[in-house]
């Protein structure tokens, strides 16, 4: 959010992609109660590069009614998106006391376990409005994905795409080379919206190129060497995360799911290559002998390639659905962009360096993985709250997908089943959840009744029950959303 608390109005069509996401986020936040319609958003899609289409359309409709703080461009509202906020509410002297009065009794709830912390920051001014143990490091669970996402966006930018390629291997041989895109799909395309890179389309382009050279038979190898170090996370084989590989399809899932826990392949790269061989045969190119692991020559000629959705979309998907596979890929892509080995350790160093470069309070922060499944991760409530405030700032437009990817309370992602119809904070809270056994966390933004945007983080350890802890965290976020000084 700009330091002045006021957004500059400009033509939508002239804005760069990162700024367009800012406009969508700001407008959607300002009219949050109208932006989300239960019937429209409950379907959770499709993606539209920063906001779901249903949210965008509702925002446009609300803006056209002449809501407070909105201005038309050239006497009309652009058809593609609403104009930006005129301003958000600025600080009130009594806010600190009001937040303390609202939050402190809720923090005494035994559902929050033996240790907990809290931080609330005014996004416009950067002022710490409330803190309780805010500097103390805690296990953040999946809220560490906010840090992973911010680091990847800082390193690569929101428009970066991950390529999967096929290159020549001498004679009539080819090599399938993984670039690190876990969303590469072997499934047929379904529905509108941004597409994942398609293994079928890569096979089609490869077959065309080979046939143009008169090649009907080929040898196939696969190269997943872009990532190094152990592929298995420290938690071991797990339905929440496939072995981390530079080459995989559909996150290594063995069913038709695209989110949540699922059985995973133990050999994501080999499985992807075998699927590619089948797809080539279906397109009239016979693959000789068994598919084997190999290494593409540095100067190998490119035969075909496909690209992932933009990094902004991968970040949003990772945050909305708490997708561990994408989060680990984002961490390794950050390592590659930073000259570090694309391993768990190299990624941790690269992410830490990028976060330090953003000027965030790093005392006690420890990055062990990209997903938050490792209990060695450490972060403070103030670190997370200030990261979110920084993502809203004018100085960091590349970070905006960190905000637009946050689940909407009561409607999308991991918050879809939380925040009942009459609960304060429904639709006006957007937050990343975190859950491990005995650990429950929540970090996000809340829009107050006067239109003031606050960022918050609540971390709890030693929680006796995930369900009761989540309800306690939701009450805290609702209190932030409904408090005025």
Integer Cα distance of 159 and 179 in angstroms: 16
Integer Cα distance of 209 and 189 in angstroms: 22
Is 275 tagged catalytic?
no
- For residue 248, what is the DSSP state? -
Integer Cα distance of 356 and 335 in angstroms: 15
> Phi/psi zone of residue 339: left (φ > 0), alpha (ψ -120 to 50 degrees), beta?
left
CA separation, residue 345 to residues 139, 150, 357, 436, 457 (Å): 18, 18, 19, 22, 26
**Integer Rg of the chain from CA:** 23
CA separation, residue 89 to residues 1, 122, 129 (Å): 12, 10, 14
Q: Catalytic pick from 145, 196, 380, 478?
A: 145
Is 145 tagged catalytic?
yes
Separate counts of helices (H) and strands (E) for the chain: 14, 10
**SS3 at position 178:** coil
Q: Catalytic pick from 322, 343, 380, 478?
A: 322
In the structure encoding, which two tokens stand for residue 443, read together? 């970090």
In the 3-class helix/strand/coil scheme, how is 331-390 assigned residue by residue? HHHHHHHCCCCCCHHHHHHHHHHHHHHCCCCCCCCECCCCCCCCCCCEECHHHHHHHHHH
Burial degree of 364 (CB within 10 A; 0-12, 13-18, 19+): middle
Is 196 tagged catalytic?
no
Integer Cα distance of 252 and 112 in angstroms: 35
Q: Catalytic pick from 142, 245, 380, 461?
A: 142
Reference 325, options 250, 236, 408; nearest CA is 250
8 Å CB contact between 311 and 160: yes
Integer Cα distance of 451 and 445 in angstroms: 12
Pure H helices in 213-261? none
Catalytic residue ranges: 142, 145, 322
């Amino acid at each position: 959010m700009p330091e002045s608390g006021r957004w500059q109005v400009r033509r939508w069509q002239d804005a760069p992609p990162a700024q367009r996401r800012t406009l969508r986020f700001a407008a959607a936040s300002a009219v949050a109660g109208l932006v989300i319609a239960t019937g429209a958003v409950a379907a959770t899609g499709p993606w539209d590069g920063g906001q779901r289409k249903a949210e965008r359309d509702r925002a446009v409709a609300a803006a056209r009614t002449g809501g407070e703080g909105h201005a038309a461009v050239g006497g009309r509202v652009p058809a593609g998106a609403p104009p930006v906020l005129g301003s958000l509410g600025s600080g009130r002297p009594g806010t600190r006391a009001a937040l303390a009065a609202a939050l402190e009794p809720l923090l005494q709830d035994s559902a929050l376990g033996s240790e907990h912390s809290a931080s609330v920051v005014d996004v416009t001014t950067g002022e710490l409005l409330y803190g309780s143990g805010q500097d103390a490091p805690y296990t953040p669970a999946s809220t560490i994905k906010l840090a992973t996402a911010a680091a990847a966006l800082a390193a690569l930018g929101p428009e970066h795409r991950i390529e999967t390629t096929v290159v020549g291997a001498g004679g009539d041989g080819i090599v399938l080379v993984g670039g690190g895109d876990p969303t590469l799909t072997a499934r047929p395309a379904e529905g509108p919206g941004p597409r994942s890179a398609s293994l079928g389309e890569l096979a089609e382009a490869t077959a065309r190129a080979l046939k143009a050279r008169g090649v009907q038979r080929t040898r196939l190898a696969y190269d997943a060497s872009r990532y190094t170090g152990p592929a298995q996370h420290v938690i071991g084989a797990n339905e929440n995360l496939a072995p981390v590989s530079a080459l995989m399809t559909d996150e290594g899932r063995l069913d038709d799911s695209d989110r949540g826990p699922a059985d995973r392949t133990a050999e994501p790269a080999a499985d992807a290559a075998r699927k590619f061989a089948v797809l080539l045969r279906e397109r009239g190119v016979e693959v000789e002998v068994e598919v084997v692991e190999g290494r593409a020559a540095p100067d190998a000629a490119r035969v075909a390639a496909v690209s992932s959705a933009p990094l902004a979309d991968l970040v949003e998907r990772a945050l909305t659905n708490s997708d561990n596979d994408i989060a680990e890929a984002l961490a390794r892509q950050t390592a590659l962009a930073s000259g570090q080995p694309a391993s768990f350790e190299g990624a941790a160093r690269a992410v830490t360096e990028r976060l330090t470069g953003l000027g965030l309070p790093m005392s006690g922060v420890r990055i062990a993985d990209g997903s938050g499944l490792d209990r060695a991760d450490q972060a403070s409530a103030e670190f997370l709250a200030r990261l979110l405030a920084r993502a809203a700032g004018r100085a960091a437009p590349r970070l905006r997908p960190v905000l637009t990817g946050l689940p909407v309370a009561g409607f999308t992602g991991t918050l879809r089943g939380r925040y009942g119809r009459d609960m304060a904070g429904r639709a006006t809270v957007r937050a990343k959840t975190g859950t491990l056994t005995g650990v429950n966390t929540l970090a996000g933004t809340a829009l107050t009744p006067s239109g003031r945007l606050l960022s918050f983080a609540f971390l709890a350890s030693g929680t006796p029950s995930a369900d009761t802890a989540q309800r306690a965290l939701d009450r805290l976020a609702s209190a932030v959303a409904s408090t005025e000084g």
